[in-house]
Homo-oligomer: A and B are copies of this chain.
Amino acid sequence: MNYPKSIQNLIDQFTKLPGIGPKTAERLVFYLLYQPQRELFQFGEAIEHLKNSAKQCQKCFNFAESDPCHICANSKRSSSQVCIVAKPQDIQAIEKTGAYQGLYHVLGGNINPIENHYPENLRIKELITKVQSGTVNEIILALNPDLPGETTSLYLIKTLKQYPQIKITRLARGLPMGADLEYADEITLDNAFKNRQLL
């Protein structure tokens, strides 16, 4: 016995999504089965039209309503700073702080041989072109402090060494807000000591 075709079809579609297994997919589909057709229609339309107003900015490779995006097109933002992030969601997180007024560059992932992500799969060539244009003074590495992030940072530092006029920085390492010293991991605490700040 199998589920009716339309149920099985939607279970299969949900199972393609990352982190969604067949049982979760089943649960989601049965939830949707009890929703009014109007809701299903809105959800379906939202998926089909996802790319309608989401264009990829050809300068920073973020997704935005326009190309160039409103950050790249904003003349008030400093074009001498470029912040390197792995994915568009990271820009969202940084923008929320309001702490940064430069531009971005979305790499499209990190170097991670296990997941078949090599330097040639990332937007490094586009970064070099940006650097060669001569307007960039500082590259801020805002990659995750984990193995793939560190590998990518090291690779970028090595690659950008040939442009000595460019300052390369990375986000500070230390204790996150709300941390408990007792439970902080060794590397974090080590970083917090090494980079201690003068008050």
Q: Could you tell me which A residues sit within 8 Å of B by CB distance?
A: 1, 3-7, 9-10, 13, 16-20, 24, 26-33, 37, 39-55, 63-65, 70-71, 87-89, 91-92, 95-96
* Residue of chain B at shortest CB distance from A24: B19
Contact B4 A64 (CB under 8 A): yes
Chain A interface helix/strand/loop/mixed: helix
- Select A18's contact among B3, B9, B16, B31, beta carbons within 8 Å: B31
Contact A18 B28 (CB under 8 A): yes
- Select A1's contact among B3, B9, B29, B95, beta carbons within 8 Å: B95
Docked pose: A53 CA to B8 CA in angstroms:
10
Sorted nearest first, the 4 A-B pairs with minimum C-beta distance are: A44-B48, A44-B47, A44-B44, A1-B95
- Select A46's contact among B6, B27, B45, beta carbons within 8 Å: B6
Docked pose: A10 CA to B44 CA in angstroms:
9
Contact A63 B19 (CB under 8 A): no
Docked pose: A53 CA to B87 CA in angstroms:
39
Contact B17 A31 (CB under 8 A): yes
Q: Give chain B residues whose Cβ lies under 8 Å from the Cβ of A50.
A: 6-7, 10, 29, 32-33, 40
